[in-house]
A and B are shown apart, each in its own frame.
Chain A
């Protein structure tokens, strides 16, 4: 029994940091946040800490210019994180701006989960990076943020299952519950446009698979945090949840791609990262020693005439 990412190398954390902030950069750069300003301001209700803003200020923020500024500033901060410029400051600023924009898009009627684990991953990487400055140098801490992100991701599934069980009890697993949800979701007008779910009643095998699979998926979700110490639980989780997410896309037009993008963190990435960076270092040292040899050799590169060199 070993904790996931227990001995992860700093390079592995770097790869994950680039992955998480890189995903946010792509998402922020490609989403036209300013379009929200065209919708009526009164349809947006402030969430979380933004509730502290007086109503007139909140309404005043509802402008294309302000939302474009937020988007550009977020992209710049994320680019700074990726390039290693003012890494702590830019990461904190990126997290604050991302929190604002994620609150804003959820202020229109519905607080969904899709991007939240990826947002938490950004928080954790930033907070641990700040805390690392104060850490004991000899302590092997590099794996801690990765373990925390994996734990948060797994906990979100267990929380969903625990709510389902405690609020709905066995009623949540009544014969047709998931079929009814599928039919509704497949008929709503959504971003993704799969229509397979509308005709689900024509596929009795699929109906039975959903009926039997729903309690099983709930059990796997509930046990997910044990995946932190058990390879078998982790692999079962991935084997069940990847098809589950794809099924919710094709049947219900619900896709949590951000969660799928974090699933690699449930694998032991460290050996791969060590091997990759080890090979990279070996190649660099070989090429630099070759360059050094060729510079010292008689036929090696010489400085251009008139630029110095010993006479």
Chain B
């Protein structure tokens, strides 16, 4: 079942050790547990994997060029995880999902919704990720949420964050109008919604209040 090859084992330890050493300097903000816990786990796991007979035989049989490709790709993949600086190491990134701290138990929660206001004052619900499909998979959802949070924190519509949010909302509104010529909207509004999922009443109709509005042909305001 196992086949120990000193060259492969030493190579794995050397590369993984070097990556661990580099992380000390480049990712001081990553929690120590996350960094060293992963480092130790992957050292053991990688040594186990490369000691398995079929994998060891595969690695030994690879020509030099193929071995270099394999080593490079996996060093980049694992190194990016350990470095945890996805914006620098893209397209190799830190893989995390359902790992950031969530509230301990179900309770009141808040989120944003986007609406378009028509000439007659009616409101239509907007779905920005549907209007800009390349930003699906939460790219638009999270990006817009960050912009709203940033603009509200700045508290002024003429702040950089406020101007950026208004321009984004205006762009979303223009795309909507192009796709829906019969029902054009005049402004895009952001509502903060609050509800308690344990209470069926607020779950069906959350409390909503307007936090930002951007006229499609003008300036935005909180």
B72 CB to nearest A CB, Å: 8
Interface string of A18-54 (1 = CB under 8 A from B): 0000000000000111011011101101011001000
Q: Verify if B187 is at the interface (C-beta below 8 Å from A).
A: no
Q: Which of B42, B63, B134 is A36 in contact with, Cβ under 8 Å?
A: B134
**A188 touching B141 by the CB < 8 A rule?**
yes
CB of A119, distance to nearest CB on chain B (Å): 6
Contact: A199 with B70, CB < 8 Å? no
CB neighbours of A48 from chain B (8 A): 87-91
Known A-B contacts A113-B97, A168-B101, A188-B111; A103 and B90 likewise in contact (beta carbons under 8 Å) = yes
A76 to B28, CA, bound (A): 43
Docked Cα-Cα span, A273 to B70, in Å, equals 25
Among B53, B54, B96, B197, point to the contact of A160 (Cβ < 8 A): B96
With contacts defined as CB atoms under 8 Å apart, how many contacts are there between chain A and chain B in the complex?
253
Determine the chain A residues whose CB is within 8 A of the CB of B6 once the complex forms: none
Is residue A105 contacting chain B, with contact meaning CB distance below 8 A?
Answer: yes
Residues of chain A contacted by B131 (CB below 8 angstroms): 35
Which among A105, A134, A177 is the interface contact of B134 at CB below 8 angstroms? Answer: A105
Contacts of A184 in B (CB 8 A): 102, 109, 111
Residues from chain A with a CB closer than 8 A to the CB of B134 are 31-33, 35-36, 105
**Given A43-B143, A105-B135, A180-B103, A131-B87 contact (CB < 8 Å):** no
A102→B55 contact, CB < 8 A: no
In the complex, the answer to whether A155 meets B101 with C-beta atoms within 8 Å is: no
Q: What's the minimum C-beta distance from A79 to chain B, rounded to whole angstroms?
A: 20
Q: Chain B residue with minimal CB distance to A188?
A: B141
Contacting residues of chain B (90-140) with chain A, CB-CB under 8 angstroms = 90-91, 93-106, 109, 111-114, 126-140
Main secondary structure of the interface of A (DSSP, over half): helix
B209 within 8 A of A: no
B73 interfacial contact with A, CB 8 Å: yes
From 171 to 191 in chain A, residues with beta carbon under 8 angstroms from any chain B beta carbon are 171-172, 174-181, 183-184, 187-191
Interface centre among A103, A110, A169, A178 (most CB of B within 10 A): A110
**A110 with B143: CB separation less than 8 A:** yes
A191 lies within 8 A of B130 (CB):
yes
Would you give the shortest CB distance from A21 to chain B, in whole angstroms?
Answer: 17
In the complex with contacts A163-B81, A180-B103, A191-B129, A135-B140 CB distance below 8 A? no
Known: A109-B147, A155-B74. A1 touches B96 (CB 8 A): no
Q: Is B38 an interface residue (CB 8 A)?
A: yes
Contact string against A for B residues 50-93, beta-carbon threshold 8 Å, 1 for contact and 0 otherwise: 00111101100111011001100110011001000011111101
Q: Is the CB of B33 within 8 A of A110?
A: no
Once bound together, how far apart are the Cα atoms of A187 and B192, in whole Å? Answer: 12
Q: Chain B's nearest CB lies how many Å from the CB of A237?
A: 15
Interface residues of A in 138-174 (CB under 8 A from B): 139, 141, 144, 147-148, 151-152, 155-156, 158-160, 162-169, 171-172, 174
Say whether B186 faces chain A, with CB atoms less than 8 Å apart: no
- Does the CB pair B106–A201 fall under 8 Å? yes
Answer whether A191 and B95 are a contact pair too, CB < 8 Å, given A131-B66, A139-B63. Answer: no
In whole Å, how far is B58's beta carbon from the nearest beta carbon of chain A?
5
- Please measure, in the bound complex, the distance between the C-alpha atom of A158 and the C-alpha atom of B38, giving whole angstroms: 11
B221 sits at the interface (CB 8 A) = no
B54, A2: Cβ atoms under 8 Å? Answer: yes
Cα distance, A19 to B33, chains bound together (Å): 40
Instruction: Report Cα–Cα, A180/B106, bound state, in Å.
Output: 6
Closest residue of chain B to A174 (Cβ to Cβ) is B104
B residues less than 8 Å from A113 (CB atoms): 93, 95, 97
Q: Is B208 an interface residue (CB 8 A)?
A: no
| A254 CA / B24 CA spacing, docked (Å) | 34
Q: What residue of chain A has the Cβ atom nearest to residue B203's Cβ?
A: A198
CA distance A179 to B107 in the complex (A): 11
Known: A1-B52, A180-B106. 4 other contacts (CB 8 A): A108-B139, A160-B95, A169-B33, A189-B129
**Can you list 16 A-B pairs, Cβ within 8 angstroms, ordered by A?**
A1-B1, A36-B132, A51-B87, A108-B143, A111-B86, A112-B137, A119-B91, A124-B69, A152-B77, A158-B45, A166-B34, A180-B102, A183-B106, A183-B109, A201-B106, A229-B55
Binding site for A on B (CB under 8 A): 1, 31, 33-35, 37-38, 41-42, 45, 49, 52-55, 57-58, 61-63, 65-66, 69-70, 73-74, 77-78, 81, 86-91, 93-106, 109, 111-114, 126-147, 160, 164, 167-168, 171, 174-175, 193, 197-198, 203
> Chain A: residues with CB nearer than 8 A to chain B?
1-3, 6, 31-33, 35-36, 38-40, 42-43, 45, 47-48, 51, 99, 102-103, 105-106, 108-114, 116, 119-120, 123-124, 127-128, 131, 134-136, 139, 141, 144, 147-148, 151-152, 155-156, 158-160, 162-169, 171-172, 174-181, 183-184, 187-191, 193, 198-199, 201, 214, 225-226, 228-229, 254-255
